Structure formats: C-alpha cells, structure tokens
Amino acid sequence: MTQELTELGVAAIRGGVAKGDFTAVEVAKAFNANIAAAQEALNAFIVATPEKAIEAAKAVDARRAAGETLGKMAGVPIGMKDLFATKGVQTTAASHILEGFKPEYESTVSQKLWEAGAGMLGKLNLDQFAMGSSNETSHFGNVVSPWRRPDSNAALAPGGSSGGSSAAISARLCPAATGTDTGGSIRQPAAFTGITGIKPTYGRCSRWGVVAFASSLDQAGAMARDVTDCAIMLEAMAGFDPKDSTSLDMPVPEWTTNLSAGLKGKKVGVPREYRVDGMPAEIEALWERGMAWLEDAGAEVVDVTLPHTKYALPTYYIIAPAEASSNLARYDGVRYGLRDLPDGANLQDMYAATRAAGFGAEVKRRILIGTYVLSAGFYDAYYTQAQKVRTLISHDFMGAFHEVDVLLTPTAPSAAFALGENVDDPLKMYLNDVFTVPASLAGLPAMSVPAGLDAQGLPLGLHLIGKPFDEQGVLNAGLAIEQRAGFAAKPEKWW
C-alpha cells in the first residue's frame, strides 16, 4: 500500500483522500518513509519535517470526517524549496550565511498552500541563493539525480537551482514541490529529471517571503509529475498579494477545469533562432516530434523570428548579478544569520569576514560581476544597455504573439550531465539556460514537459512559452504534448 501511495500524483491523492480510499495520514507516512530511505543517497532535503506533514494530514482527515469542504491541495504532502520562508523551520537558501535562521513569518506562497490543505514534508536543497544550473553550489552538498546512465554509477546533476525539488519528485519522495525560476530554474531541472514544471507570468505568484536573487526575474512556480498536477498546485499558489508590489492584481483562473488538449484553431510558433550550433541531433529530432504532436492536436505550426534572442544570455548575466549584488548586501552579520567577528575586528572587518565565510564561490562570483556592472564607470555601458536589450527581447516576443498563440522550443541543450563535469567552466554552465532565459527576461509563462529519452535513456523536455497571463494556453499545449508523448519512464531505484 505504501509503495502504491507514493506512485500517486496530486490529483490522485486529493481525489483518493476526498473519497475515503485512504487517509491523508497514510499518504504522509508513505512519503515520509521514502524520504528517510533516500536522504543519504540523494541529499534532496536540507531539513525533513515529517511531523509537519502528519499534522497537516490529521487536520485534513478531521475536516473530511466532519463533512467540511476540502481545499485544492487537501491531503497532498509537498516539498518546499528552501528559498521560501517557513515559520519556525530553518530557511537557508542553501547557504552558510543563513544556516540556523528560523523565520518568524510564513511566505505568502507557502501560506496559501497550507491553507489549501497541503502539508510540508521538508525543505528542499537547491543551488545556493538559487545561483546555479546543477545543484552543486549548495552549502549542504550536492543533490544527486535519481537517474543513472546505463552501465554507469556516475552521479548526475538534477538541474538547478530547483534540483532538490526535481530529484524529490522524480524519486517519489514527494508528489509535487515548489520551485523558483529566475532564468530557467524550474524548467531545466524538470527536463533533466523527467517531470513537469511551470513558471507563471511574472507577478502571478507573490515573492513575499521568498529569499531574493534577482527581483525583476524571480518567480515561484509548480513542479509535479504531470500537467494537471502543476495546474492544480499553481491555482493554490497564485493570487494577488498587497505585500508584494510586483504582484498581479488579477483573479486566478480555473486552469484545471479549463484544461484541454484540443488545439484546433491555435498557432504554434517555432523560433528559428533557437536552432543553435552544436545542438544534439536527438534534441532536434524531439523538437520535430513535438511539432508533429501539436499539429495532431489541431494546431498549425509556423516559423517565427525572435531576432534579439542571441543577446538574451549575456543580458541576463548582467541584470541578474546586478540585482543579486544589491539583494545580498543585506547579509552582513548584523541582523540575522552568520556573524564572523575576528578578535579586535571593527565593523568593516566583520562585514568582510562574515560575507567571505558565508557565501560560496558562485555567489561571490555573481556579486562581483553585479557590483562591477553597477559601478559608476560601467553602469551605463552595461546595466543600462542590458535593460534596453531586455526591452527589445520583450518586443520580439510580443511581435511573435501577434502571429501565434504559443511557442515551442527545447528546454535544455542536453540531457543531464555528470556532477563535476561543468563545475569549473562557468560559461558552459550558464549555457544550460540558453533556451529558458529569454522567457524570463520577458516575464512570460513557460513550462517544460517530459517528452522522450536520449540515447542513454535520460529524460529530455520540450518547452512551451505563452503570452502574458496565458498560463492556460501553455498548460493546454503541454497537455497535448503529454498525451501524445506518453512519457512514463521513471528512474530505476538504486538508492
């Protein structure tokens, strides 16, 4: 029974609990057991909170017994990326500088999920301050993907920064998890581990209580086994928040109710600029299959152009570090978190020692880049110019959306790579985001759907980008691909 329960997704768990096929407590216990068995091998969780999951499950079972209305996520235990503040539970952003920090408040997104009946299985590991594409920059050690290449024991990257979320869902440690996406940190790890992940329109989910990386780009989203589960979870997470000045004051649509894989009358754009040099033939072939699947669903596939796409990655790696250098200035050893105070040190010495000890190498690299591009002599040459190019990239998308309803691209330029393979080559690591960054710069909804396996049996994803506020169009196209791809692969258990 335990094994069967952990094979269920959000919709199936919610439905089973509501019908009385099993209790929410039984579900929570099953996932708690899986986490305990896998933690040493996968390192997906920084902190496990089995008691929180049981407590929430008992509350749901009591509500059902009393005949009360159950929430959208009733009985579903989830993983919470350790970027979301959780009251009384350590929140570190996978950094040493925040190690031991227990907030006195709850993030808006997590609060909405608890109110919808979800329970917390624990805080998921990630790249430190969400900076990374492989989950190798965490102070608490690498997350290891549950996937393996055939005839190889090499540990693979689960993607980043939401690698703990992707690994946990793929390994059946949780049915769904929160993620955050700044330049692809939901979509790329989803592709690497054979799950589904959606980044909504910028502002759709509140950023209040989420540790900031780049404030004009960061957006919370849902990661789960399939499109329907993502839609259910996103409905529970989204909504206007007066505490977040960037929050969209718009009603949350009923995405789940309106899911449809029929795309008759819709146009799907294929950006010619995404056909990058050196892209593996199998990713190109999967992309072509994706086009055929959407045509089979009734859509018309047309070529479009996004001429400024080639500038997206360098633009992102100016804007994101600039905002990070500003956001991370608050970690100084004065108010909370780590304080390194050498004997005889003055205030400046304490700042320097605390930040040197508390930040990892990748975080320091991005702070330095960001501080450089914001400095007096270079602000106009780099940061101002990058913002202008960002506007041009956004205009490209708006032009394309006059012709088409949704865009189809690959999610990542490769399948999962081995841990350590790219760690000493920051530029190669940054190229993992080449397909996902443009949508982030434009604030558009986008999602990755698992669509096939490469020659080594590792998952590959297809990527859909929609118009502003049109999560429904992205979800519907994703459902059409999901139904036709029939992706049912899961990692063979070795842990």
Could you list the active site residues?
81, 161, 185
129: left (phi over 0), alpha (psi -120 to 50) or beta: left
Spell out the SS3 assignment of 324-387: HHHHHHHCCCCCCCCCCCCCCCCHHHHHHHHHHHHCCHHHHHHHHHHHHHHCCCCHHHHHHHHH
> What are residue 432's phi and psi, to 5 degrees?
-60, -25
CB 308 within 8 A of CB 389: yes
CB 93 within 8 A of CB 83: yes
327 contacts: CB under 8 Å, gap ≥ 6: 212, 213, 214, 215
d(CA 447, CA 461): 9
d(CA 405, CA 435): 18
CB 457 within 8 A of CB 149: yes
d(CA 456, CA 459): 9
CB atoms within 10 A of CB 364: 15
Q: Name the strand (E) or helix (H) holding 476.
A: helix 471-485
Q: Name the strand (E) or helix (H) holding 80.
A: strand 77-81
CB atoms within 10 A of CB 302: 12
CB 160 within 8 A of CB 459: no
How is residue 296 written in tokens? 């089979």
CB 410 within 8 A of CB 286: yes
d(CA 209, CA 43): 24
Q: How far is CA 333 from the centre of its chain?
A: 29
Give the number of residues written for the chain.
Answer: 495
